[in-house]
Structure 1
Amino acid sequence: MTAPLVYITGASSGIGQALAMRYHAAGYRLALVARRAAEIEAWCRAQGFDAQRWAVYAADVRDVESIVTAGKACVAQQGVPDVVIANAGISVGIDTAQYADLEVMRATFETNNLGMAATFHPFIDPMRARGSGVLVGIASVAAIRGLPGHGAYCASKAAVVSYCESLRGELRPSGVRVVTIAPGYIDTPLTRGNRYSMPFLLSAETFAERAFRAISAGASYRVIPWQMGIVTKLLRVLPNWLFDRALAGRARKKRQGE
């Protein structure tokens, strides 16, 4: 088929599923990746999607061989994607004083960072050879400053921003674009357990629409919603003493098992 192809990890719920719906509406073929492959397949059938316009690949982004194999299978079965969205991610609070939370930090970096690089890996050479393609990394406004109880998540998302910026410079001469999307608070299963206020909260569908527009418009970096973009700019210049005072007493992210 000649329709463009989008490859999305973490597609079984939340942002990933909303992005899949938006790209399908735009005429794209779908390559959807998650550990729970059966759930995505059932969802695609429930939407009435044409079976020739989608395929599902079971993979765990923490397992490099697993996610690389999924990417290669996509190329073999559906061709080189036009857009690859590394969306799979986890967000769990940690307390560094708790020994068990060191493993939570490892899992966070393996998922949010190593998993992103492994997601992109199978497509870089084919996209370079073709001279086109878009690699999209989903970061977070949590990348801007460290939040109490969010050490693993904030650090991992800051790493996403830097990694995508580095990759963008590396691939610029090849015609392959790298886009960083930094969501604010989005109503998904990942955020519904939060025990603090979430200003400018967006539905996953609204986020997907705005992300689709930003990626299509050729943006290299976009904070969604724009209001959070203003907040992040202010946070960047806030003196440490004032930032620390503002965050004093803020509820911490729930730890694993809480």
Structure 2
Amino acid sequence: MADATNGKRIAIVTGSALGLGFELTRRLIDAGWFVAGVDFNAERQAELAETFGADSYQAFVGDVSDEAFVNDAIARIADLGHIDLLINNAGQPSFKTPTAYEAADVDKCLKGLKGMILWSVATLKADGEQDLKIANVMSTAATRGNANESVYCATKWGEKGYTQSLKAAYKGTSVKVVGVYPGGIDTAFYRDSHDYVSEEKQHTFMDPGQLADVILFNLVNAANLTVSDILIERNYV
């Protein structure tokens, strides 16, 4: 099974079906990587598997916060070879006034944090805690408090805490951990929150393709260095 990638470096991208995750996936494949893409959107995953081909993309359909799914997927990916890069990109928003939040909103936002932890742990184990780069895509919401994003910010601050703790644990080793903090992106991420982020406002946000270029320029390069934090703000006009 190790020959299935034809010697390509292996990356895992969660939330690979649409938006920033798709743009990161497409660019990695264009650069010669094999991508294991993870998303709950089965229809879109089938499209990507056909588009990219089995020699460049393998689709995994499931909930990123489901531990059994994570462990099964990692075992199958590890059979292909050493995992070089994990991009924890999957997450779901919930933008509401402070008193409008309910337990379901908390659970929805926490899926990203839980998934980040599960995929990181499983990948670290599969790689023997060696020669791995983990990129945790969060949000500028992990760096400040925002009105009407109290629960979303809380979970993003949790993701930042986990990311910083991983950095401390693997300092001086061949495991590198990168925190990625983008501002607003012009994607369907806001489709359920257009009372808070209108479509007109959404379209002033960053282009996901351009953002993916900036992230990968800093994340994947031949230089003997690691950019440990990538904070990207959109231009205000």
TM-score range for the pair, normalised by the shorter chain length: 0.7 to 0.9
In the alignment, is the contact (CA less than 8 A) between 1:127 and 1:176 conserved in 2? no
- Other-structure match for 1:27: 32
Match of 1:13 among 11, 18, 21: 18
User: How many angstroms apart in 1 are the aligned matches of 2:169 and 2:207?
Assistant: 34
Asked if the contact 2:185–2:205 (Cα under 8 Å) also holds between the matched residues in 1, the reply is yes
Checking the alignment, whether the CA contact within 8 Å between 1:10 and 1:16 is kept in structure 2 is yes
Matched letter for residue 2 of structure 1: G
Match of 1:94 in 2: 96
- What is aligned with 1:164? 163
**Matched residues, number:** 222
> Mind listing any 5+ residue stretches in structure 2 that lack a counterpart?
1-5
Residue identity matched to 1:115 = G
Q: Is 1:206 aligned with 2:210?
A: yes
**Larger-Rg structure:** 1
Question: TM-score, normalized by length of structure 2?
Answer: 0.85
Contact 2:74 2:126 in 1 (8 A): no
Instruction: Report the alpha carbon displacement of residue 106 of structure 1 after superposing the two structures with TM.
Output: 2.1
Counterparts of residues 220-239 of structure 1 (less than 5 Å): 220-225=228-233
Q: What are the Cα deviations for residues 163-222 of structure 1, in whole angstroms up to 9, with x where unaligned?
A: 101101112243110111111111111035313846972211101111101112521101
Q: Deviations over 1:219-258 (max 9, x none)?
A: 1101124769xxxxxxxxxxxxxxxxxxxxxxxxxxxxxx
Q: CA RMSD in A?
A: 2.2
Q: CA deviation at 1:26?
A: 0.7
For 1:184 and 1:101, the matched residues in 2 are separated by 25
81-90 or 67-76, larger mean C-alpha shift: 67-76
- Between the aligned partners of 1:73 and 1:41, the Cα distance in structure 2 is 18
- Alpha-carbon distance in structure 1 between the residues aligned to 2:34 and 2:53: 9
- In 1: Cα distance, 2:231 partner to 2:146 partner: 18
DSSP-derived class of the 2:94 partner: coil
Identity of aligned residues (%): 22
Distance of 2:190 and 2:31 partners within structure 1: 27
| d(CA) in 1 for partners of 2:155, 2:16 | 20
Match of 2:121 in 1: 121
Per-residue displacement from partner, 1:76-132 (whole Å, max 9, x unpaired)?
Answer: 2x223211011100011234534x6222112211x1211110111111123345x30
* Counterpart contact for 1:96–1:102, Cα < 8 Å: no
> C-alpha separation between the residues in 2 aligned to 1:225 and 1:216?
20
Structure 1 ranges of 4+ moved more than 6 A: none
- What does residue range 33-112 of structure 1 map to in structure 2 within 5 Å? 33-46=38-51, 49-76=52-79, 78-98=80-100, 101-109=102-110, 111-112=111-112
User: Could you say what secondary structure the match of 2:90 adopts?
Assistant: coil
Stretch deviating more after TM superposition (116-125 or 33-42): 33-42
Segments of structure 1 that go 5 or more residues without pairing to the other structure are 229-258
